[in-house]
Each structure stands twice: as C-alpha cells, then as structure tokens.
Amino acid sequence: MGFLFLTSGLFLGWSLGANHHGNIFGAAVTTKMIKFRYAAIISSIFVVLGALVEGSGGSATLNRLGAVNAAAGAFSVALATAVSIALMTKIKLPVSTSQAIVGGIIGWNLFAGMLIDYSSLASIVMSWVIAPILAAAIAFLLYHLFRSYLNRSHMHLLHLDNYNRWGFILIGAFGAYSLGANNIANVIGIFVSVSPFKDIVLFNSIKITGLQQLYFWGAASIAVGICTYSRKVMNTVGTDLYKLSPITGLIVVLAESIVLYLFGSRGLQQLLTSLHLPTIPLVPISSSQAVIGAVIGIGLTRGGRNIHYNIMGKISMGWVAAPLLACILTFVLMFFVQNVFEQPVVNQITYAFYRDEMVELEKRGIDINQLAVVNGREYNNARELRAALENIEGLEREHLLTIGNITQLEHLKIDINRLHKEIPDDALSAHQWVILQYLHGKSYKHYWQLEQALAELSADWQPKPSSSRNQSYNSELQRKFKLVIDNSKPATSKD
C-alpha cells in the first residue's frame, strides 16, 4: 500500500519536471542554441545527481511546517499539489511548486487540526520574496560584467555563438543539479517519515538507504516530466515575458541556478560555517520566481523597456492561485480518502499535561498558571488540544506551538542495533555513536527528554548559543536529533 501512496509523489515530480525545465533550458531551446532532446538528457542526469547528493536540506524545513505522519495523508497532499501544478502547466503558466506544496501542507494541517509552525512558514515565505529580488540583482550585475567583457574582447560572432552554446550546456547542467538539490524536497519531503523503502545491501558492502531510494525515484519522476511534457511551458519564460537573446538567456539561467544552489546546498552551508561566515537557510524556493526575477533584472538593465508586465501579472496570479488551489484540493481529497476509502490520513497524537511536562513548559517561559485548566489532563488528538488551548484567555499565540511540542507523547526507546541499521554510520560522529550506546534500552516519553539526556552526557550533543554564526551548527544538530528520534519511535508510527 505504501508504494501505491507514493505514486502521487511521483506524479508531483512529473509535474515539477514538466513545469520547471523551461526555467533551466527554456532560453537555450527557444533561441535554438540547443535542441530540446539534448537539453532534456542533460537535465535528467543532473537533476538526479543534485537530488541524491544535496537534496536533504529543504525537506527538514517542510517537515517543521507540517510533519505529515500518515501515508494516505502524504498521498493526498502530493496528489492535490500535483493536480494544481498540472492545471497551471496546461495553461502554460510557470507556477511555483514550492508555494503549491506549502499550500498542500497547510491544507493537511487544517484538516488534521494541527498547530502551524508560523516561524517555519515565515522563513519559507521570506524566501519567496528574497529569491526573485536576489536573482534580479545577480542577473543585473552579470549582464554588466558580460557586456563589459564582450566590449573589450571584440570576439568574433562565430566564436561567441560557440561559447554561448557551451555556456548553456554547462550552466544548464548546474541549473538542473541545483533544481534537484533544492526542489526534491517539494516532491518527496512529505514522504520521508512514511517512506515504504527499506535499506538494501549490495555485495555485503554497499548500503543503499531507504531515503536514498526515495530521493532517486522522486528525481527520476522529475526527469520523466522533463522529457515528456516540459517543452509546452518553455515559451512563456523564453519569449512571452521578455524577448531573450542567447547572451541574456545564458545570464538568466546562471542567476537562477546560483539562487537555487544558495538555498539548497548543505555542502555550501557547512563550508560557510567552517569559515565562520553567515549561512543561508536551506529552504525549497521557487525556480519559477527565481528565473522571472532574473528576467526582470535583465529588463531593468535596459530601463525596464520591453518587459511584458501583463504577462508578469498573469504569472503572479498563478503564484497566488496554485497554493490556494492546493490547500483546498488537499482538504477535500483528505475528506474523501478518509471517509470514502477509509484510509487514515492522520495518525492521531496524544498530548499530556503532567508534572514533567509542566516543569519543562515553565523552563520554556510559559506561565503554567494559565494552564491550570489543562493540568493533569490528556488529549487524544491535535484538534482536542487546539480547542482546549484556544479557550484559555491570555495565552499568547506564539506559545501554542511550544506547548504542543512539549506535551506530545512520542514513546521513544533507544535500540542501538536498530539505529545502526537505519542511520548511515557517517551521519553521526564516532563520539555521538558512543554516547547513544550508553542510552541503549532506555525509554523516553518525549523527544526533548532524549535530547536533554544526550546533551547531559556529551558536548557533541549540546546546541551552541543562538547566533548567526551557530545557526548552521544547531540546524545540523537538530537534523541528527531527528534521525535518532524518528528511528526510536515505535515501528508502527512509521508505517
């Protein structure tokens, strides 16, 4: 059944490939610098590489926004998102998959009665604003650099044409790699906690994890979308919004690729951390927004002339319509899947307000006197908890998510053998594995109890003081905590 549910994620990947390939090679194909079939082959290869090598960064952000915890729920979110994107693709609009999947996740949260992590939502929405502006600035700068170089070099047109063609190939490959690294989270990020794949060991030495298999099939579905349907949407960006020459088309793809890579590369983030430089949050951003920002940046180099603002307005309407449509379709689809097909779209979670939980809430700055009405009680699902908390006067809204996280019962048990089986050895440091060995056989009701136990045993499990310099380190530590927590839950919670 798990593989059947995954088909909607593969459909979503197909829709993404069909819609977003134009952002990478649209200018090259519409200016006849590269034939479509060669562009499709290059993109397919490098989008898979990007997904497998650096595709895990944005998935964590989407899971914080809404951790879809049932396979049928993930199916509903992915299918609703894919349908909304396919509809936009049908009318040749390069919509934002990042926005659509966020709309789908919010639809799941609303149906499940879950509390929404507004800080994660704000981080994602902020990236939607920053990405096109950054792409426009990069394209503006690159255009002037390219023009200055060409004016000084007096290059022959035949040589220039040849360089453009090779530039499109190299930069297109980089763009496809960046698309896979950044946007694979949109395709299968919601399936990470309900993945049907098990680890495979080849020749008694090569281990292919279930997560790697999930990322591969997600990337493969993007490649199929690229090869089968992407040509239909290319003209909107390549010719309709702004008439691109081979040089300006090359600059647009390079600017877009840089922005996608900046927001999607875990390796770059780790490098910046090692150099004690500010890091960029790993957030799945819209390649459509980035490429259109870059196109506008090119247009601004010429005073904004020849930009078809009516086309830009039409595209912007798609950016608004896609997440709203995905949200509504998710809500409706989940209703049918649950009530008509009798498939659980939400695994209900129990929340408890006893002594340990109340003490921890007080440590987190919550006034527990306000929680007197819920003290000593349990709630069988998120909807009951939300109703109880919203009836408490004076409780600040930003505290609701903290209360939900602290009181959520996890029933964790550390099994070092299971952890070694499920988590790659190099995902944790040698000393972190040693510390986990000390906790073998111990049980915890909450994730934060396990985190505290690990932090008390070793500095390698302790977060650093909050600062821009420590942001990447703490994010990486949280990723490691999540690996341990997810693989310490009862096995049925991951089915």
Which of 285, 306, 339 is the C-terminal boundary of a domain? 339
Q: How many Cβ atoms are within 10 Å of 429's Cβ, its own excluded?
A: 13
Q: How confident is the model at residue 428 (pLDDT cuts 50, 70, 90)?
A: very high
| C-beta separation of 170 from 254 below 8 A | no
Phi/psi of residue 35, nearest 5 degrees: -70, 145
Q: Which helix (H) or strand (E) holds 201?
A: strand 200-202
* Residue indicated by tokens 């793809």: 253
Q: How far apart are CA 154 and CA 144, in angstroms?
A: 16
Q: Could you tell me the residue range of the domain that residue 403 belongs to?
A: 351-407
- pLDDT higher than 70, residue 179: yes
Q: Provide mean pLDDT across the span 180-192.
A: 87
Regarding predicted confidence, which is higher, 479 or 367? Answer: 367
DSSP string, 126-184: HHHHHHHHHHHHHHHHHHHHHHHHHHHH---HHHHHHHHHHHHHHHHHHHHHHHHHHHH
Which of 289, 312, 339 is the C-terminal boundary of a domain? 339
| C-beta separation of 143 from 251 below 8 A | yes
Whether residue 46 is contained in a domain is answered as yes
Q: Provide mean pLDDT across the span 127-147.
A: 92
| 395 lies in the same domain as 428 | no
Per-residue pLDDT tens for 57-85? 666 677 778 778 888 999 999 999 988 88
Check residue 237 and give its pLDDT: 52
Q: What is the DSSP letter of 91?
A: T
| 108 lies in the same domain as 173 | yes
| C-beta separation of 422 from 485 below 8 A | no
Q: How far apart are CA 402 and CA 168, in angstroms?
A: 48
Q: How confident is the model at residue 435 (pLDDT cuts 50, 70, 90)?
A: very high
Whether residue 62 is contained in a domain is answered as yes
Beta bridge partners of 379: 351
Regarding predicted confidence, which is higher, 217 or 121? Answer: 217
Whether residue 344 is contained in a domain is answered as no
In Å, how far are 82, 168, 418, 431, 443 from 488, measured between CA atoms?
A: 32, 47, 8, 19, 9
Continuous H helices in 265-308:
266-274, 287-300
Q: Which amino acid is at 410?
A: E
Q: Provide mean pLDDT across the span 141-150.
A: 92
| 403 lies in the same domain as 416 | no
The token pair that represents 487 in the structure block: 């693989």
DSSP string, 347-391: ----EE-SHHHHHHHHHTT--GGGGTTTTT-EESSHHHHHHHHHT
| 208 lies in the same domain as 298 | yes
Which of 339, 359, 386 is the C-terminal boundary of a domain? 339
Count of structural domains within the chain: 3
What percent of the chain clears pLDDT 70, i.e. is strictly above it?
A: 93
Phi/psi of residue 110, nearest 5 degrees: -65, -40
| 487 lies in the same domain as 355 | no
| 356 lies in the same domain as 423 | no
